[in-house]
Structure 1
Amino acid sequence: MSASRPGPKARMAAGETLFGVWLELGSPMAAEVLAECGYDCAMMDMEHGPHSIGDTIGMMQAMKGTGCLPLTRIPANDPVAIKRVLDAGVRGVMVPSVNTAEEAEAAVAACRYPPRGKRGYAASIVRATRFGLDLEDYLRRFEEEELLVICQIETCEAVENIESIAAVEGVDLLFIGPNDLAADAGFFNRLDAPEVDAMVTRVEEACRAAGRGLGAIVSPNRSLAQLKASGGYRIILQDADVALLRDSARASLEAQRKAWG
Structure 2
Amino acid sequence: MPESAVRRLQRGEAVLNGWLHLPGGVSAEVMGRAGYETLTVDLQHGLIGDGGLVPTLQAIAATGAAPFVRVPGLHPPDLMRALDAGAAGVICPLIDTPAQAAALVHACRYPPLGGRSFGPTRARLVYGDEYAAAADTGVLVFAMIETARALENLEAIAQTPGLSGVYVGPGDLSLSLTGAATLDFRLGETAAAVARAAQVTARHGRIPGIFTQGGDLARHALKLGYRFVTAGSDFALLSAAARGVLTDLGAAASPASSLY
Query: Do both share a fold (TM > 0.5)?
Result: yes
Q: What secondary structure does 1:217 align onto?
A: strand
| Aligned pair partner of 1:55 in 52, 55, 67 | 52
Q: Does 1:150 align with 2:142?
A: yes
Q: Does 1:122 align with 2:119?
A: yes
Question: Match for residue 197 of structure 2?
Answer: 203
Once the two structures are TM-superposed, the CA of residue 173 in structure 1 deviates from its matched residue by 1.2
| Aligned pair partner of 1:179 in 123, 146, 171 | 171
Question: Match for residue 256 of structure 2?
Answer: none
Query: Could you tell me the TM-score, scaled by structure 2's length?
Result: 0.87
Question: Match for residue 213 of structure 1?
Answer: 207
Question: How many angstroms apart in 2 are the aligned matches of 1:49 and 1:106?
Answer: 24
Does the CA contact (< 8 Å) of 1:72 and 1:94 recur in 2? yes
Which letter maps to 1:162? L
Once the two structures are TM-superposed, the CA of residue 201 in structure 1 deviates from its matched residue by 2.9
Question: How many angstroms apart in 1 are the aligned matches of 2:219 and 2:55?
Answer: 35
Question: Match for residue 106 of structure 2?
Answer: 109
Which letter maps to 2:218? L
Question: Match for residue 226 of structure 1?
Answer: 220
Does the CA contact (< 8 Å) of 1:53 and 1:85 recur in 2? no
Matches within 5 A, 1:1-261: 2=2, 6=4, 8=6, 10-123=7-120, 126-130=121-125, 134-135=128-129, 137-145=130-138, 147-189=139-181, 191=185, 193-218=187-212, 223-231=217-225, 233-256=226-249
Q: Which runs of 5+ in 2 are unaligned?
A: 252-260
Question: How many angstroms apart in 2 are the aligned matches of 1:201 and 1:257?
Answer: 39
Q: 1:17 to 1:241 in 2, by over 3 A?
A: same
Q: 1:102 to 1:60 in 2, by over 3 A?
A: same
Question: How many angstroms apart in 1 are the aligned matches of 2:4 and 2:212?
Answer: 27
Question: How many angstroms apart in 1 are the aligned matches of 2:156 and 2:19?
Answer: 28
Q: Deviations over 1:146-187 (max 9, x none)?
A: x01011000011000000000001111111111111111233
Does the CA contact (< 8 Å) of 2:39 and 2:68 recur in 1? yes
Q: 1:249 to 1:226 in 2, by over 3 A?
A: closer
Once the two structures are TM-superposed, the CA of residue 29 in structure 1 deviates from its matched residue by 1.1
Aligned-residue sequence identity (percent) comes to 32
Q: Which runs of 5+ in 1 are unaligned?
A: none
Does the CA contact (< 8 Å) of 1:26 and 1:44 recur in 2? no
Aligned residues: 248
Q: 1:178 to 1:257 in 2, by over 3 A?
A: closer
Does the CA contact (< 8 Å) of 1:187 and 1:193 recur in 2? no
Q: Deviations over 1:117-150 (max 9, x none)?
A: 1111223xx111118x933x101222212x0101
Which letter maps to 2:239? R
Q: 1:162 to 1:118 in 2, by over 3 A?
A: same
Query: Could you tell me the TM-score, scaled by structure 1's length?
Result: 0.87
Q: What secondary structure does 2:175 align onto?
A: helix
Does the CA contact (< 8 Å) of 2:5 and 2:66 recur in 1? no
Question: How many angstroms apart in 1 are the aligned matches of 2:176 and 2:248?
Answer: 39
